[in-house]
Amino acid sequence: MKNIFFKSILELSKLLSKKYISSYELTKIYINRAKLIEKNLNSFISLNEDYSLHLAKESDYRRSIDKTLGKLDGIPISLKDNICELNQTLTCGSKMLKDYKSIYDATVTKKLKNNGMVLLGRTNMDEFAMGSSTERSYFGSTSNPWNFKYTAGGSSGGSAAAVAAGITPLSLGSDTGGSIRQPASHCGIVGLKPTYGLISRYGLTAFASSLDHIGPLSHTVKDSALILQLIAGYDNKDSTSLKVKIPNYIKSIEKNKKNNKKWTFGVMNQSYDKIVNHEVQSFILKAIDFYKNKGHKMTNINIKYGELAPPIYYILSSGEASSNLSRYDGVRYTYRPKNINKNLISKTREEGFGEEVKRRILLGTYILGIENYNSFYIKAQKIRTLIKNNFEEIFKKVDFLISPTVSNTAFLKNTKIDNPLSMYLEDVFTIFCNLTGYPGISLPCGFSKEGLPIGFQIIGKPFKEDDLLSFANEFEEAHNYYNIHPNL
């Protein structure tokens, strides 16, 4: 019998509705577990115990009078500290916003509240989502629950670690270049980046607007489906959100399973041998074999301009970021140096931002400069379009692409921090989804000799999360990774 704190939300929802446990008791379990583990993990930036228990009590009351707000009423969930939640912190892992409290809810937050979910706390992240290890957080790095010496990945490292360690059953993170999928892979859980435009970005602190996504981190694929159902949909407050029909994801998963649906998938041919670790490669090949043996058709796919993806990702994301972060100027609501009477803006930014953020802002400012704009930004946009067009061609022949999520397992703390470029290579497989907007999911498929999780990535067609989740669910149900948890 699994410990309750590792149960999926699907299971928890059943327990709550059968009244085997109350939301209050459940929430208390997570809070107590957090108190035990957090000093080693550091996955939360803030935990508001009274507030969470209050929400839990309200849920129990609703249940007692048979007026629950939905399937997920009373289920705890934590949010990455860059998604607005009224009256809670929004540090974005930065000194710049260390004392800031949101005065409004993000659209996704409102949806969670409207469904009675219990908001459990704000999770740690790389500063302003720029990083792949959560070591760039002003509040200290987050450890990998499988081995505290290793990083949890990033930038949604806090979310991934909290779920993997069983101190929150579910978390929402953000993904600009892989920031949900990569930490999910390093922590052995499921991380989904949905199609761009499916989920409203209103209330998500912008890093790179055309690349940012909100998505869930969970124990199982079905859990992702459940929460996706809640948060997907057009929002008139976000002009990049799209009016699309939202299918019933759980029903689709079950229907495809029942019909034994067969698909075609491609395998990314991106210089595998050169960059992917052998252990990781072997588990990816096992996953590919699994699908082949199940009767799905496989083809080899070469992504055109694939090797250009990392540089154009850094050009475009840095350019947009340099503009999105201009609002942090010490004038209205950010950190402000004491005793200052001139150069307010430059001193605030000098003191309030960490090194990696400054690096990206400088890079982005340079890129958008009038002498460079055409050679970098415009060129990168053109290549981005070429990659998008190539994806359209590829997905005429296949339903999915399979690749490693990351070329390696989690790395030791302090090993990449002085080498930005090596840190940037954590993204090579994940950035395609951000550049094209296509949905991607990472799920566990093995462990390294050191006992560190290995994940693989499935990329699907835009707005076809129903198929993507079905395909992923098939692998998950046939394996037991979702039942393997760190010894904490």
Partner 1 sequence: MKDIYQSFIGIEVHVQLNTKSKMFTKIPYKYNSPVNTLIDPYVLGLPGSLPVINYDAILKAVKVGLLFKSNINTSFSWDRKNYFYPDLPKGYQISQNYSKICTGGFVKIELPLKNNNYIYKKINLHSIHLEEDVGKIIHQNEDSLIDLNRAGVTLLEIISKPEIKNAEEAFYFLKSLRNHLLCIGVSNCDLEKGEMRFDVNISLSKNKNQLGTKVEIKNLNSVFYVKESINYEINRQKKILLNNGSINQETLRWDEKNMITVPMRKKESSIDYRYFPDPDLPIINISKKMISDIKKQIPILPFDKKKILIKKYNLSNEISSLLSIDNELYKFFEETVQIYNNPIMIANFIINDIRKTLLLNNLKNNILPQNLAKIIKMVDEGLIYKQIAKQIILDILLKNLDSDNIINHYLSKNNINILKIKNICLEVVESNISIVDTIKSGKKNAINFLVGKVIKSLNYNVDANIIKKILEEII
Q: Which residues make up the interface to partner 1 (CB under 8 A)?
A: 82-84, 90, 92, 97, 100, 102-104, 106, 201-206, 208-210, 236-240, 319-320, 322-323, 325-329, 331-333, 341, 344-345, 365, 368-370, 373, 377
CB atoms under 10 Å from CB of 39, counted, come to 8
**Would you please indicate which residues are annotated as catalytic (active-site) residues?**
80, 155, 179
Give whichever of 208 and 253 is closer to partner 1, judged by the CB atom: 208
Give whichever of 7 and 111 is closer to partner 1, judged by the CB atom: 111
- Least distance to partner 1 from the beta carbon of 449, Å? 42
Q: Which candidate, 52, 59, 47, 48, places its Cα nearest to that of 23?
A: 59
Query: HEC profile for 36-92?
Result: HHHHHHCCEEECCHHHHHHHHHHHHHHHHCCCCCCCCCCCEEEEECCECCCCCECCC
* Tokens at 419, concatenated: 């080498």
- Least distance to partner 1 from the beta carbon of 327, Å? 4
List phi, psi (to 5°) of 409: -85, -175
Give whichever of 83 and 280 is closer to partner 1, judged by the CB atom: 83
Give whichever of 370 and 421 is closer to partner 1, judged by the CB atom: 370
Give whichever of 255 and 336 is closer to partner 1, judged by the CB atom: 336
* Tokens at 103, concatenated: 């005065």
Per DSSP, what are the bridge partners of residue 215? 173
- Least distance to partner 1 from the beta carbon of 129, Å? 11
| Whole-angstrom Cα Rg for the chain | 21
Contact assessment for residue 72 and residue 116, using Cβ atoms and an 8 Å cutoff: yes
- Least distance to partner 1 from the beta carbon of 125, Å? 13
User: Alpha carbon of 368 to those of 108, 343, 385: distances in Å?
Assistant: 32, 23, 19
- Least distance to partner 1 from the beta carbon of 79, Å? 12
Cα gap 42→139, rounded to integer Å: 8
